[in-house]
Amino acid sequence: MTPTPPSPGSAALASRSRAATSEELAGIPWLGCLDDVERERVLADLRVVQVEAGEYVCRIGRPVSYWFGLIDGLLKMSNDSALGMPITFTGVPPGGWFGEGTVLKREPYRYNIEALRRSHVAGIGADSFHWLLGRSIGFNRFVMLQLNERLGQFIGAREIDRLIDPDERVARSLASLFHPTLYPGVGEVLHITQQELGYLVGLSRQRVNEALRALQARGLIRVEYGGVRVLALEALRGFRAGS
């Protein structure tokens, strides 16, 4: 039996964590909401850990201990169906902070977060998260906006699951990763391989390649070395095959 990978709340990953660099801190969007006292506490608590491909950041049923954000790399949020088949909810590209609902309720995780490639994940303790909620209006606004946008994202993910056409699945899934509020670190180019995109949308690399070429021919994206550049985001969000 394959051993269960450790989560960052365990001693294994905690022992590998380090303080964030100034460059990494500059990429955390909510730090600008804090006053000097709040920022000081966060900087004393915030840790960064390198997670290898296939390693889990959190697992279903594990107690919540951190609120997480992705510095660089790519993560996958998923669950297991009643039949044991994995269900992918979404990918998490750089700049995304996630799991605030779980931290708010202090409940066990109901999803897995897995690294699709070597990634650097930041986190603050659940106690610091709740301390900020009780003190900072700016932080509260950030979390409320996250929750609202996340709800819309999961509704969209449910719609994607019902799509049969592979080109539509790839188009909608790509568009969901270009979200300036949830994933401010992405910009106009998403660094992702066709294999990684296939993991997120449930298609083979070859079929993803066909879909990307079709979307590029429509002028919606441009496939570049190591990633995809979006040229028409709204058109990508509303893409319909055959239209």
H helix or E strand, kind and range, residue 193:
none
Reduce the DSSP state of residue 125 to 3 states and report it. Answer: strand
Closest by alpha carbon to 99, among 117, 112, 80, 86?
112
Question: Distance between CA atoms of 227 and 232, rounded to whole angstroms?
Answer: 16
Question: 135-181: per-residue pLDDT in tens?
Answer: 999 999 999 999 988 887 776 666 666 667 889 989 988 998 998 88
Q: What is the pLDDT of residue 12?
A: 66
Do 11-155 and 163-237 fold alike per CATH?
no
118-127 burial, b for 16+ CB within 10 Å, e for fewer? ebbbbbbbbe
- One-letter amino acid of 97: W
Question: Distance between CA atoms of 176 and 56, rounded to whole angstroms?
Answer: 22
What is the SS3 assignment for 49-102? EEECCCCEEECCCCCCCEEEEEEECCEEEEEECCCCCEEEEEEECCCCEECHHH
The CATH-assigned architecture of domain 163-237 is: Orthogonal Bundle (1.10)
Reduce the DSSP state of residue 223 to 3 states and report it. Answer: strand
Domain ranges across the chain: 11-155, 163-237
DSSP type of residue 18: B
Question: 213-232: per-residue pLDDT in tens?
Answer: 999 999 999 999 889 999 99
CA 229 distance to own-chain centroid: 18
Question: 43-67: per-residue pLDDT in tens?
Answer: 999 999 999 999 999 899 999 989 9
Question: 77-86: per-residue pLDDT in tens?
Answer: 988 655 566 6
Mean pLDDT estimate for the chain: 87
Domain over 11-155 is classified CATH 2.60.120.10: yes
